[in-house]
């Protein structure tokens, strides 16, 4: 249907009404229920990551796509499929670095219908193309699997804080020392060893 000149004025109140409705809906849910839904959704996603769809997840957790997406986004800051896409991209990094698989085949393996879709999503997520990353590996901030400890209760809401970094292989140098928990806790042994290793 063609839009009239005043349609944009009608759309904004609808958006604001939707936001108020979402906040009202979430306020009625106990915190433990929100966590349970989110973690259950995450397990379903991880179980069939390459080809999972919103319809699949919705049917498995017995929650409508509409409410599922609202709860998940409020808890994590990402919609369900945004999280799925980010997890697929993170999983594909290992293939890029440690196999000679063509980018086109990696795209298909991780649920991207077209190579161009994968390349576009990769660049948007990481700021570099898959081919460039393969030739010149660098540390990338990735979306890791959400765990129960990742979800923190703050002011009656949920916020997803931790993040992970995918880093190509590198060497570390150090001094191997064994300490008991009590030594580290009460005698500050670990802190003292660190000072010895990095002298002023």
Which tens digits make up the pLDDT trace of 132-184?
999 999 889 999 898 887 776 433 454 545 556 656 665 777 777 776 766 65
130 φ, ψ (degrees, to nearest 5): -60, -40
Length of the chain: 200
Token pair of 29, please?
């849910």
Q: What angle do CA 146, 150, 151 make, to 5 degrees?
A: 105
State the pLDDT at residue 10. Answer: 44
pTM score: 0.67
Paired residues of 159 in beta bridges: 152
Q: Which residues does 42 contact at the CB level (< 8 Å), separation at least 6? A: 145, 146, 147
Paired residues of 154 in beta bridges: 157
Ordered by where they begin, the domains of the chain are: 12-170 (1.10.10.60)
State the pLDDT at residue 3. Answer: 47
Q: Which residues does 140 contact at the CB level (< 8 Å), separation at least 6? A: 93, 126, 128, 133, 165, 166
Token pair of 19, please?
């936001």
Q: Which residues does 93 contact at the CB level (< 8 Å), separation at least 6? A: 133, 140, 142, 166
Residues of the chain scoring pLDDT < 70: 1-29, 152-170, 179, 181-188, 196-200
């Amino acid at each position: 249907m063609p839009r009239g000149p005043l349609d944009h004025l009608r759309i904004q109140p609808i958006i604001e009404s939707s936001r108020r409705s979402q906040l009202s809906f979430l306020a009625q849910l106990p915190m433990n229920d929100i966590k349970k839904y989110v973690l259950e959704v995450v397990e379903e996603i991880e179980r069939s990551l390459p080809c999972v769809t919103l319809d699949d997840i919705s049917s498995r957790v017995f929650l409508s796509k509409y409410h599922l997406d609202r709860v998940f986004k409020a808890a994590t800051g990402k919609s369900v499929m945004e999280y799925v896409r980010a997890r697929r991209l993170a999983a594909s990094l290992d293939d890029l670095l440690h196999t000679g698989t063509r980018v086109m085949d990696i795209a298909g393996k991780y649920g991207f219908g077209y190579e161009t879709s994968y390349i576009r999503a990769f660049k948007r997520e990481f700021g570099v193309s898959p081919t460039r990353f393969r030739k010149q590996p660098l540390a990338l901030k990735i979306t890791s699997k959400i765990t129960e400890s990742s979800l923190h209760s703050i002011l009656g809401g949920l916020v997803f804080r931790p993040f992970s970094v995918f880093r190509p292989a590198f060497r570390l140098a150090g001094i191997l020392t064994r300490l008991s928990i009590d030594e580290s806790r009460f005698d500050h042994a670990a802190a003292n060893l660190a000072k010895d290793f990095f002298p002023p």
